[in-house]
Chains A and B, each alone.
Chain A
């Protein structure tokens, strides 16, 4: 409070302004308090539960567990395999969406007939709810008997492929990439549009080929936007849930169980609150490592 009224660096502030200042803390307080509670309360509870023996359907089994939940989690193969699945999922989707997204952003930056409509069609998957996109792909496209892909692969003599049984993780990656490619495209296209066209023209006058202009002018210009896309996507992709829930339910075996799905199984199917909380904390730590980079990037942007 006192920091609001004391302004040593600007002693000649207009009176009307300083009179209004105390009010502004009233305006920000509700948001700050709500978010503070949202951040602290569940996190403290998660930490607390992670050291407890706590099963939702067996109330007699209670008490301090020490690090038992953690050691159990760390020694069982499930955690490690789920972290590996998480990292493969995040890594491949990032590579696909940013790689293709950059190329498509260059394409949609060029002028052609009906560009507006073509672009709107291309970004549409991003607005489709994850459960719907997962079900379309699972049933209408990738179904081994009646799916459209099965029809195509049969037509060229490959026979029907049971995508979710034979290539489970690849199938999930394909669906998630389809959902997130439009996001990368949209952000990178916006970034390209702020590129100085005179610079590009000048390079062209000097005889630079389009590949060279892309490599030495467009790509460096995009580096910041690419970093933003990578960070934001990573935060969402680390906790992909609905697509796995709807298509493979984590299977076959553990093939598509990522960290988010493992915690869901522990918490709401096994009712093991302690174990799920320990897993949850590991997810929080993973996300925070990524978040630190994003915050740096945004903080830099805030200076200007």
Chain B
């Protein structure tokens, strides 16, 4: 009688042990390419291209200093920062008021408007590459930060409106009603009641927009050449034969993905909602 519970807990323990091994194996396997790149970034070029992989080596920081000297890495990073933050601010400026109006003052057309906004996401970039390229060329927006900011704003706006809309929808109506009873004006209501409640949602929306803009590659490769090139397109330039410096490539790549990786880890929960337009909770 006494052994029965003991074997059961034993079995549970074994099960948990196996799951731990399996779960970690999967996690490490999927993460491995990123880890290997990170490791390579501390190798000398000779170690990096060695046919026998070097797991233990004398780490060096020279790749990180040299990518700045050779390619003016800071410029590309600055383009990425300005473009992704600029477009995100513009998205919030346009999207928050729209989401506010649709969540709290819905009309008959609101549902249709939301779905239509989402439908603009379905327009494949390749389908409109030619006209955008020509429009940009004719208005000298090619290879400018403003040009990419505009594109990324339009690409991310539907997602942002949807996300903020669903967050606003979650704000309990009673709280707003109570505020209204107390005679709060619209503006006060907005800043003192609603905004503090919805701020975490707006923040994660902003994070998602930054991630998407930071990693976007199609438009950045096709619409920039030198001046406004963000990190995605800069890294792509390493694919040409003369760019074959693996350790430096790894260092540049590590720096390029580090901030976004951390943002992604932080906001993974809210991302699901944004990425599926609230269809999966």
Contacts and interface: CB of A to CB of B under 8 A. Distances in A.
B249 A135 contact: yes
Contact of B30 (A43, A122, A263, A273): A122
B123 interface: yes
Interface string A131-152: 1111111111100011010110
Contact of A122 (B26, B117, B276): B26
A277 B249 CA distance: 35
A135 B243 CA distance: 11
Given A3-B109, A260-B124, A295-B115, A232 B276 contact: yes
A228 B279 contact: yes
Interface string B12-25: 00001001101110
B154 interface: yes
A87 B52 CA distance: 37
A186 B16 contact: no
A62 interface: no
A140 B129 CA distance: 32
A266 to B, nearest CB: 9
Contacts of A110: 19, 23
B96 to A, nearest CB: 9
B54 to A, nearest CB: 11
A251 interface: no
B128 to A, nearest CB: 4
B124 A284 contact: yes
Given A151-B52, A291-B119, A191 B233 contact: no
A125 B235 CA distance: 17
Contact of B105 (A20, A141, A276): A20
A29 B215 CA distance: 29
A238 B126 CA distance: 10
A239 B218 contact: yes
Contacts of A111: 16, 19
Contacts of A267: 129-130, 133
B80 to A, nearest CB: 9
B215 A127 contact: yes
Contact of B129 (A30, A186, A280, A294): A280
A168 interface: no
Interface string B97-134: 11011100101110101110111111111111111111
B168 to A, nearest CB: 12
Interface stretch (B57-65, B194-202, B257-265): B257-265
B257 A128 contact: yes
Interface string A182-195: 11001100110010
Contacts of A38: 120, 154
B236 to A, nearest CB: 4
Question: Do most interface residues of chain B lie in helix, strand or loop, or is the interface mixed?
Answer: helix
Interface residues of A, number: 110
A260 to B, nearest CB: 4
Interface residues of B, number: 99
Contacts of B74: none
Contacts of A263: 126-127, 129-130
Interface of A: 3-4, 16-17, 20-21, 23-25, 27-28, 30-32, 34-35, 38-39, 41-43, 45-46, 49, 104, 107-108, 110-115, 117-141, 145-146, 148, 150-151, 178, 181-183, 186-187, 190-191, 194, 224-225, 228, 232, 235, 238-239, 241-242, 245-247, 259-260, 263-264, 267-268, 273, 276-277, 279-281, 283-284, 286-288, 290-291, 294-295, 297-299, 301-302
Q: Which 5 A-B pairs have the closest CB atoms?
A: A45-B131, A291-B122, A127-B264, A242-B217, A118-B27
Interface of B: 16, 19-20, 22-24, 26-28, 30-31, 33-34, 36-37, 40, 49-53, 94-95, 97-98, 100-102, 105, 107-109, 111, 113-115, 117-135, 153-154, 157-158, 161, 180, 186, 211, 214-215, 217-218, 221-222, 231-233, 235-236, 238-239, 244, 246, 249-250, 253, 256-257, 260-261, 263-265, 268-269, 271-272, 275-281
